Amino acid sequence: MDVQAQYDYRTVFISDLHVGWDKVSEDHLLSFLRRLKTRNLYLVGDVLEWFYRPSGTVSMSIKRFLEELLELSQRGTVIHWLSGNHDPATYKGPIQFDWLYNAIPEVRVKPHDRYTASDGRTYLIVHGDIYDYFTPKTIAWKQRLAEWLYPLYLRILDRSNRCGWIGAIQKRKNQDPLLAEHAKAFRNLMIELARLQNCDGVICGHIHVPESCTIGSMSYLNCGDWLEHRSYLVEAESGQIKLMSQGSNP
């Protein structure tokens, strides 16, 4: 039997999982990984959240997450791990990350990657936190308030079944002009980075705003996040890359 025939996707891209933050339940993520069938899985940064405890131990939520990744690897999925700004140990070299390499021997952490889809289009894959070096240092009061309320907002989402007035809050948030301006500036920079690398598009994360669009000949594909939107990108065998969210296949 052709083993590859069992896969639903050629490649899946997810970012901003923040596993170990303990602000939301990781059950939905673990369930997603158990049912996932893909040849490749790209973790596009901000995978783990401050995982080293003062005692030097790793949280149980991270251990469960790594167990699911190991199962995926053993089923034949190739795991690609990109570092993000909330993955501080990934910047410190393999010595500090030995525990991860021991848990999943096949994985290696990289700052960015280049990916060729089955239709021949090439993509720069990068978390996107380089954008932070180009943003103004002064932060509007609205941004400070939003950052302060974000953990509470996520807890409500996690426990509300995402319906009714929660949907109204999400819609109002997504229509905020400051957020829209921020997302546009981020999108433009990511596309320019991909163009400089002679790529046809970019796959990224970082700003927790899922989006799939084409600007000129360039594709902008943002995975979104797994805290609020539970969104991800999938590549079919045809090479088409689509933005999806939990609740659709798988």
What's the rounded Cα separation, in Å, for the pair 225 and 223? Answer: 6
CA distance 30 to 76: 18
User: Can you give the pTM of this predicted structure?
Assistant: 0.85
pLDDT at 2: 34
Per-chain mean pLDDT for the chain = 81
Q: Which residue has the higher pLDDT, 153 or 46?
A: 46
Tell me which of 102-116, 135-149, 225-239 is least confident.
135-149
**Most confident of the following: 49-53, 87-91, 99-103, 204-208:** 204-208
pLDDT at 230 over 80: yes
What is the b/e burial string over 11-45, where b = at least 16 CB atoms within 10 angstroms of the residue's CB? Answer: bbbbbbbbbbbeebebeebeebbeebebbbbbbbb
Cα separation values, 179 from 99, 144, 166, 175, 213, Å: 37, 13, 18, 7, 17
Mean pLDDT of 199-212: 95
Q: Where are the alpha helices (DSSP H) in 76-163?
A: 98-103, 141-160
**pLDDT exceeds 70 at position 162:** no
Higher pLDDT, 134 or 32: 32
- State yes or no: pLDDT of 5 exceeds 50: no
Give the CA distances from residue 191 to residues 66, 115, 140, 243, in Å, rounded to whole numbers and listed in that order: 32, 15, 26, 17
